[in-house]
């Protein structure tokens, strides 16, 4: 039964790492999307001003 406990602990740790990684990637993607929108807006403003 001790081996089963170790396997279960490893399984939980693996899923925990996966979820933390997924949240990190989602946060970075949201940040990049926001930055891209800001850059597009700046580009459009520059085009309007004729720069």
pLDDT digits (tens, 9 = 90+) for 15-46: 999 999 999 999 999 999 999 999 999 999 98
Name the band, by pLDDT with cuts 50, 70 and 90, for residue 51: low
How far is the C-alpha of 26 from the C-alpha of 18, rounded, in Å?
A: 12
φ, ψ for residue 50, nearest 5 deg: 80, 25
pTM: 0.70
> Could you tell me the CA-to-CA distances from 41 to 4, 14, 22, 27, 36 in Å, in that order?
56, 41, 29, 21, 9
Instruction: Show the tokens assigned to 1.
Output: 């039964």
Residue 7 has pLDDT above 90, yes or no: yes
Quote the CA–CA distance of 24 and 37 in Å, as a whole number.
20
**Per-residue confidence at 50, pLDDT binned at 50, 70, 90?**
confident
């Amino acid at each position: 039964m001790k081996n089963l406990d170790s396997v279960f602990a490893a399984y939980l740790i693996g899923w925990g790492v996966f979820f933390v990684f997924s949240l990190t990637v989602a946060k970075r993607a949201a940040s990049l999307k926001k930055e891209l929108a800001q850059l597009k807006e700046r580009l459009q403003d520059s085009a309007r001003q004729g720069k």
